[in-house]
């Protein structure tokens, strides 16, 4: 098996109205790289959203009474609280400066509303339809350059009780995002019953490690020789989703939230 190669694509600052693919290809050319069949292009959601008009000026946000209450409860700018309220499918609770939400079947902070890597006084929102964005980029690569590649739209996330961010794929086009290992045998002949590998999320973390989170100006990463199964399909969170009832974290969280106890034992900490 060939070794996975992650190539950072360093560009100028991406602005509204840019042709994102053209900017990325020009940056690749300047670093003596190019797109090839079988590559995977991992694109960060903020620069993508910037080119899709998903950056909002905070002074244009009208704040509701509910958003004002959320801002006071969790120490947020009222305008940011309003955007979170608009973007979230469900608000679960929070801590100072962060609201825990569900959006598009995914647990995330602040429903993806972010004030980093955008002009001061603005906030970025997640792409409106990451799956369509990934599929559009994949088709554009084929139409412009004749190459068949995979595309991931990437965001960063935190894991429960773990310090720091990891990568997560919001959507995928051109390869299967999850590998089902159920029924396979391990090294000692034991049958795997529940194991499924988050291929796209693991690759997204590889990209996030290369991109950085501050002023690196690396909005995308080109992956070569990734261990994926290429298909002529696109996928969003519905294909990478597990129901709250099947999710260890969410099932226990819901018990705690509704009854104040978990599996008959006392709750540790404050109920939301």
Higher confidence at residue 153 or residue 160?
153
109, 101 contact by CB (below 8 A): yes
The domain covering 1-53+126-236 belongs, at the CATH homologous superfamily level, to CofE-like (3.30.1330.100)
Q: What gap in Å lies between CA 136 and CA 130, rounded to an integer?
A: 10
pLDDT digits (tens, 9 = 90+) for 230-240: 999 999 988 89
pLDDT averaged over every residue in the chain: 91
Strand partners, 68: none
Determine what percent of the chain is predicted with pLDDT higher than 70.
95
Q: How much is the pTM?
A: 0.89
Q: What gap in Å lies between CA 242 and CA 201, rounded to an integer?
A: 14
Specify which of 128-132, 193-197, 246-250 reaches the highest per-range mean pLDDT: 128-132
Q: Which pLDDT score, from 0 to 100, does residue 270 have?
A: 38
Instruction: Give residue 1's pLDDT band: very low, low, confident or very high (50, 70, 90).
Output: low
20, 43 contact by CB (below 8 A): yes
> Cα dihedral sign for 113, 116, 118, 122?
positive
Average pLDDT over residues 145-156: 97
Q: Which pLDDT score, from 0 to 100, does residue 112 have?
A: 95
Average pLDDT over residues 13-24: 95
Q: Which two tokens stand for residue 54?
A: 């998903």
Task: Extract long-range pairs of 14-17: CB within 8 Å, 24+ residues apart.
Answer: 14/47, 14/50, 14/51, 14/219, 15/50, 16/50, 16/51, 16/53, 16/55, 17/51
- Using a 10 angstrom Cβ sphere, with 0-12 exposed, 13-18 middle and 19 or more buried, the burial of residue 157 is middle
- The residue behind tokens 């797109």 is 35
For the chain, the distance separating the N- and C-terminal CA atoms, rounded to the nearest angstrom, is: 48
pLDDT digits (tens, 9 = 90+) for 22-69: 999 999 999 999 999 999 999 999 999 999 999 999 999 999 999 999
Q: What is the DSSP letter of 110?
A: G
Q: What gap in Å lies between CA 71 and CA 63, rounded to an integer?
A: 10
CATH class, domain 55-124, is: alpha beta
The domain ranges of the chain are 1-53+126-236, 55-124, 242-272
């Amino acid at each position: 098996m060939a070794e996975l190669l992650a190539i950072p694509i360093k560009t100028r600052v991406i602005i509204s109205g840019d042709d994102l693919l053209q900017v990325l290809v020009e940056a690749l050319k300047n670093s003596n790289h190019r797109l090839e069949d079988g590559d995977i292009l991992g694109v960060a959601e903020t620069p993508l959203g910037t080119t899709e008009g998903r950056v909002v000026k905070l002074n244009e946000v009208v704040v509701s009474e509910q958003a004002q209450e959320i801002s006071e409860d969790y120490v947020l700018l009222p305008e940011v609280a309003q955007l979170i309220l608009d973007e979230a499918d469900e608000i679960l609770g929070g801590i100072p400066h962060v609201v825990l939400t569900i959006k598009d079947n995914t647990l995330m902070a602040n429903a993806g509303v972010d004030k980093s890597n955008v002009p001061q006084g603005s906030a970025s929102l997640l792409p409106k339809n990451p799956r369509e964005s990934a599929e559009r980029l994949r088709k554009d690569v084929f139409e412009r350059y004749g190459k068949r590649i995979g595309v991931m739209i990437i965001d960063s996330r935190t894991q429960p009780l773990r310090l720091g961010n990891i990568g997560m794929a919001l959507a995928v086009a051109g390869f299967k995002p999850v590998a089902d290992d159920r029924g396979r045998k391990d090294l000692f002949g034991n049958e795997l019953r529940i194991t499924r590998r988050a291929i796209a999320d693991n690759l997204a973390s590889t990209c996030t490690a290369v991109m950085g989170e501050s002023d690196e100006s690396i909005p995308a990463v080109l992956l070569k020789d990734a261990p994926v199964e290429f298909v002529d399909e696109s996928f969003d969170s519905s294909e990478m989703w597990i129901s709250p009832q099947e999710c260890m974290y969410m099932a226990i969280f819901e018990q705690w939230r509704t009854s104040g106890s978990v599996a008959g034992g006392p709750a540790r900490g404050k109920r939301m």
